[in-house]
C-alpha cells in the first residue's frame, strides 16, 4: 500500500503540465524579490526551504551532513496562477537569474477549465505556423524590358480610397467647351471618399486599452497626418471616444466604431453639434475575426471612472456586447437602415461601412452591400485577428483565413465590374511575424484596398509580450504587465504614451518606405496595385489554384 504522504500529491499538477516553466538560477539570484513582485499572475513566489547538504571544511575530507534554511524562488503548480511566459521577471532581474521557458509538452488546455468555465484569454490564435500571407512572394520583377522604379527617387503615391466610388458611367459629368464639369442639376448622390494610407490601425477600444496606450496611438496618428503627411487613420473600437477628441480637429483621423453594445454612442451623438470635423468614417462591427459569434467583453475590473464616463455606464460592471446586433433582422433591411442612419447623422458626408469576421458567407454579405449605394466598404477580419477577451476555443478554432476570403470577394466584385466601387478592407494576422509591409502589399495585390492592423501595433509600439505560443495573453484580466490593456494605474504608469507615439510614427514611416521597396521593382508607383495578382506567387499548388495566382518553386 502506498504511504498516505504520496497520495496527497495525486491531484496536483506537475510543472511539466504547464505551458511555461520557470528556469531560476540559485547561484545568480541575489534574492531582491523584483521578479516575484512584478509577476502579474503570481506564478512565482519566494519560499523558504530546508536543505540537507554534505560539506567538508577541514584539510582532510571529513564529510558531514548539515541542514540549512535557504530562500528560493519557486513556481507554483496552481492552474489559476500558471506562468504565462510573459517574461516580466526576466526584465526586472538584475542578474539574469530567471526566465520562463516554453514547454511544448504542456497539457495546459486539459486542465484550464476549472469551475466548469472554459479558458478565456486575450491575444490572438495560437498558431505559430507560417501563415499564407507570409508564404506569398512578389515575383514579377521589372528589370530591363520594363525598368524598375527607384523607391528613393521616383515619386510614389501610396494611398488608397475609403468610401464608395461611383462607376465612371454614373458620374454626373457633362462636357462644356471641351471640359468636363460636374452637372449639379443632375441630383446624383456623390458618396464621400477619403484618401488614406493603405494601412490603418484596427479597432481597439478605450477601455480595452489603457489610457496611455490609446493616447499614444492617437498622438502618433495625429503626428503622422499633420507633420509627416502620411494620412493614417485609426479605428476607435467599440467603447466611445474621449470627449475632448470628439470636439477636436483631430477627429478626422479616426474611424468611430459602433458595435452591438452601442457603448459610448449616447455621448457621441450628444457631441455632434459641437464637432468641428467629421470623423474619417463609421465602422459598424458585426463580427470580429478573433472570436466570430462572440460579442465584445470588458471585464468589470477594467471599468474604472474614466471608462465608465466615456461609455456612459456604471463603474465595475462587466460590459458585454451581445454577439449580434439585437435589432438585426436581415442585411437587406436592418443593416441597410443602420448604414443609412449613421450616414444621416453626419449629413451623408462620412463613409459608413460594416465589418464582419472572415467567413464562407462573406460573398453573400458583399453582394448585398454591392447593391446598397450607401455602403462605403466592407471590412473582413480574418481568423488571426486579435482581441482583448474571448474564449480560447473561439480564438483558436473559429474563423476563416483572410487571404482566400479577400481574394474570392475581390474576384466576385471583378465579375460584377464593381472592384473599384466597394473597397475591401482586410484584417486578421497581418504582420503576425512582423512583416507588416509585405503582408499588406500581398493582400492589396490579392484585391484589398486597405488593411487594418491591431495586435502588431501593440507589439511593435508598446512591446506587448503576446506571441503565438500563448505567451502572456492575459489582456482580458486587466493585469497586462506592459500596461497596454489594463485600467490599473499601478500597471499603466509603466507605459509612456510619448514613447508609444514615437513608435507609431516609426512603424508607419518604415512601412511607407517598405511598401515603396515592394512596389518599385514591380514597376508600380502612381496608384496602389490593387488586384495586381500577376505580381504574386506562392510555393504551394493548391494555394496558388485557390488564390488564382501562379505557383513557383
Partner 1 sequence: MCRLAAITSKKYFSPIENILSIETMKEGYDGSGLGLTLKDLGGEFKDLKEYPVLSGICSKKGKEILDDYMYRIGFRLKYEWNPKIRPVKGIVTRDYYFAKAYEYPKSHRDQPINAKEDLLMNTRLSLRKIGESDESIFVFSFYPDVITIKEVGDPIQLADFFGLDRNGLKAKIIFAQGRQNTNYSIYLYACHPFFIQGYCSMTNGENTAFVPIREFLTSRGFPGYNGYNSDSEVFTHILHYTARQLGWPLTYYKDVITPLKVSEIETREDRDALRLIKHSLRPLCIDGPNVVIGFTPGGTCFMAHDSKKLRPGVVGGIKGKYALMSEECGLDTTIPKRDKSKDIFPMKYDMVIVEPQAEEVKVWNQQQGWTTIISSH
User: Which one of the spans 10-18, 87-95, 126-134, 163-171 is the region binding partner 1 (CB under 8 A)?
Assistant: 163-171
Residue 272 makes contact with partner 1 by CB under 8 A = no
User: Which one of the spans 108-116, 151-159, 267-275, 471-479 is the region binding partner 1 (CB under 8 A)?
Assistant: 151-159
User: Which one of the spans 23-31, 44-52, 160-168, 493-501 is the region binding partner 1 (CB under 8 A)?
Assistant: 160-168
The Cα–Cα gap between 440 and 515 comes to: 8
Question: Contacting partner 1 (CB under 8 A), which of 13, 193, 345, 543?
Answer: 193
The C-alpha cell at 136 is 506569398
The C-alpha cell at 201 is 490601425
Residue 226 makes contact with partner 1 by CB under 8 A = no
For partner 1, give the closer residue by CB, 8 or 155: 155
- Residue 370, CA atoms < 13 Å, CB-side half-sphere: 19
For residue 247, the tally of other CB atoms under 10 A from its CB is 15
The Cα–Cα gap between 150 and 147 comes to: 9
Question: Contacting partner 1 (CB under 8 A), which of 417, 434, 489, 509?
Answer: 417
Residue 151 makes contact with partner 1 by CB under 8 A = no
Q: 217, 208 in Cβ contact below 8 A?
A: no
DSSP conformational letter for 138: E
Q: 351, 376 in Cβ contact below 8 A?
A: yes
Report the nearest approach of partner 1 to the CB of residue 180 (Å): 4
Residue 544 makes contact with partner 1 by CB under 8 A = no
Residue 332 makes contact with partner 1 by CB under 8 A = no
282 Rama sector, left if φ>0, alpha if ψ -120 to 50, beta otherwise:
beta
For the stretch 44-48, contacts whose Cβ atoms lie closer than 8 Å and that sit 24 or more positions apart, written own/partner, are 44/73, 44/74, 44/75, 44/76, 44/83, 44/89, 44/98, 45/73, 45/74, 45/76, 46/71, 46/72, 46/73, 46/74, 47/71, 47/72, 47/73, 47/74, 48/72
**Torsion angle, CA of 456/458/460/464, rounded to 10 degrees?**
-110
- Binding marks (x or -) toward partner 1, 111..150, rule CB under 8 A? -----------------------------x-x--xxx-x-
For partner 1, give the closer residue by CB, 129 or 175: 175
Residue 380 makes contact with partner 1 by CB under 8 A = no
Q: Give just the sign of the alpha carbon dihedral 273, 279, 285, 288.
A: negative
Could you give the angle at which helices 497-519 and 455-462 cross, rounded to 10 degrees? 120
Residue numbers 512-541 binding partner 1 by CB under 8 A: 522-527, 529-534
Closest CA to 208 of 244, 239, 240: 239
Report the nearest approach of partner 1 to the CB of residue 143 (Å): 11
For partner 1, give the closer residue by CB, 309 or 420: 420
Residue 416 makes contact with partner 1 by CB under 8 A = yes
For partner 1, give the closer residue by CB, 41 or 536: 536
Number of residues that bind partner 1 (CB under 8 A): 45
Residue 550 makes contact with partner 1 by CB under 8 A = no
| Residue burial 81-116, b: 16+ Cβ < 10 Å; e: rest | ebbbbbbbbbebbeeebbbbeebeebebeeebeeee
Residue 510 makes contact with partner 1 by CB under 8 A = no
The C-alpha cell at 198 is 493603405
Question: Contacting partner 1 (CB under 8 A), which of 59, 415, 542, 553?
Answer: 415
The Cα–Cα gap between 307 and 267 comes to: 12
For partner 1, give the closer residue by CB, 287 or 529: 529
Report the nearest approach of partner 1 to the CB of residue 408 (Å): 14
Report the nearest approach of partner 1 to the CB of residue 524 (Å): 5
For partner 1, give the closer residue by CB, 140 or 503: 140
Residue numbers 10-69 binding partner 1 by CB under 8 A: none
- Binding marks (x or -) toward partner 1, 203..222, rule CB under 8 A? --------------------
Binding residues for partner 1, per CB under 8 A? 140, 142, 145-147, 149, 154-155, 157, 161, 165-169, 171, 173, 175, 178-182, 190, 193, 195, 414-420, 522-527, 529-534
Amino acid at each position: 500500500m502506498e504511504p498516505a504522504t504520496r497520495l496527497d500529491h495525486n491531484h496536483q499538477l506537475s510543472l511539466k503540465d504547464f505551458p511555461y516553466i520557470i528556469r531560476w538560477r540559485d547561484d545568480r539570484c541575489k534574492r531582491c524579490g523584483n521578479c516575484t513582485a512584478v509577476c502579474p499572475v503570481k506564478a512565482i513566489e519566494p519560499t523558504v526551504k530546508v536543505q540537507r547538504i554534505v560539506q567538508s571544511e577541514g584539510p582532510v575530507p571529513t564529510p558531514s551532513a548539515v541542514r540549512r534554511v535557504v530562500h528560493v524562488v519557486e513556481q507554483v503548480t496552481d492552474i489559476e496562477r500558471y506562468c504565462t511566459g510573459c517574461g516580466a521577471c526576466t526584465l526586472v532581474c538584475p542578474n539574469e537569474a530567471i526566465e520562463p521557458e516554453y514547454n511544448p509538452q504542456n497539457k495546459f488546455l486539459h486542465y484550464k477549465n476549472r469551475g466548469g468555465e472554459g479558458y478565456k484569454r486575450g491575444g490572438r490564435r495560437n498558431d505559430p505556423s507560417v501563415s499564407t500571407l507570409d508564404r506569398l512572394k512578389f515575383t514579377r520583377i521589372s528589370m530591363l524590358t520594363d525598368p524598375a522604379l527607384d523607391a528613393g527617387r521616383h515619386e510614389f503615391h501610396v494611398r488608397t480610397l475609403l468610401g464608395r466610388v461611383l462607376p465612371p458611367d454614373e458620374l454626373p459629368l457633362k462636357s462644356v467647351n471641351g471640359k468636363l464639369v460636374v452637372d449639379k442639376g443632375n441630383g446624383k448622390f456623390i458618396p464621400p471618399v477619403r484618401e488614406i494610407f493603405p494601412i490603418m490601425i484596427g479597432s481597439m477600444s478605450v477601455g480595452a486599452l489603457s489610457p496611455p496606450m490609446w493616447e499614444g496611438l492617437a498622438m502618433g496618428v495625429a503626428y503622422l497626418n499633420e507633420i509627416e503627411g502620411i494620412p493614417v487613420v485609426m479605428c476607435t473600437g467599440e467603447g466611445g471616444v474621449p470627449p475632448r477628441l470628439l470636439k477636436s480637429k483631430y477627429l478626422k483621423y479616426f474611424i468611430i466604431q459602433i458595435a452591438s453594445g452601442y457603448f459610448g454612442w449616447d455621448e457621441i451623438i450628444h457631441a455632434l453639434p459641437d464637432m468641428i470635423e467629421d470623423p474619417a468614417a463609421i465602422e459598424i462591427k458585426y463580427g470580429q475575426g478573433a472570436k466570430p459569434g462572440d460579442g465584445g467583453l470588458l471585464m468589470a475590473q477594467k471599468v474604472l471612472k474614466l471608462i465608465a464616463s466615456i461609455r456612459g455606464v456604471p463603474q465595475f460592471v462587466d460590459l458585454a456586447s451581445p454577439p449580434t446586433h439585437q435589432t438585426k433582422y436581415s442585411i437587406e433591411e436592418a443593416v441597410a437602415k443602420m448604414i443609412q442612419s449613421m450616414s444621416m447623422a453626419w449629413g451623408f458626408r462620412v463613409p459608413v461601412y460594416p465589418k464582419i469576421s472572415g467567413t464562407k458567407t462573406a460573398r453573400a454579405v458583399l453582394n448585398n452591400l454591392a447593391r446598397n449605394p450607401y455602403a462605403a466598404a466592407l471590412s473582413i477580419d480574418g481568423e488571426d485577428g486579435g482581441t482583448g477577451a474571448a474564449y480560447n476555443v473561439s480564438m483558436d478554432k473559429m474563423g476563416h483565413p483572410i487571404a482566400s476570403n479577400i481574394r474570392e470577394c475581390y474576384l466576385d466584385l471583378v465579375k460584377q465590374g464593381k472592384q473599384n466601387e466597394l473597397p475591401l478592407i482586410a484584417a486578421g494576422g497581418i504582420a503576425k511575424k512582423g512583416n507588416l509591409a509585405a503582408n499588406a502589399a500581398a493582400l492589396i495585390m490579392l484585391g484589398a484596398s486597405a488593411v487594418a492592423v491591431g495586435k502588431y501595433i501593440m507589439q511593435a509600439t508598446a512591446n506587448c509580450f503576446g506571441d503565438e505560443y500563448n505567451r502572456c495573453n492575459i489582456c482580458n484580466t486587466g493585469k497586462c504587465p506592459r500596461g497596454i490593456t489594463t485600467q490599473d494605474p499601478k500597471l499603466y504608469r509603466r507605459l509612456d504614451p510619448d514613447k508609444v507615439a514615437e513608435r507609431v510614427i516609426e512603424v508607419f514611416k518604415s512601412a511607407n518606405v517598405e511598401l515603396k521597396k515592394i512596389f518599385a521593382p514591380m514597376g508600380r508607383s502612381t496608384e496602389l496595385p490593387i488586384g495586381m495578382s500577376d505580381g504574386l506567387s506562392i510555393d504551394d499548388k493548391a494555394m496558388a489554384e485557390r488564390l488564382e495566382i501562379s505557383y513557383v518553386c
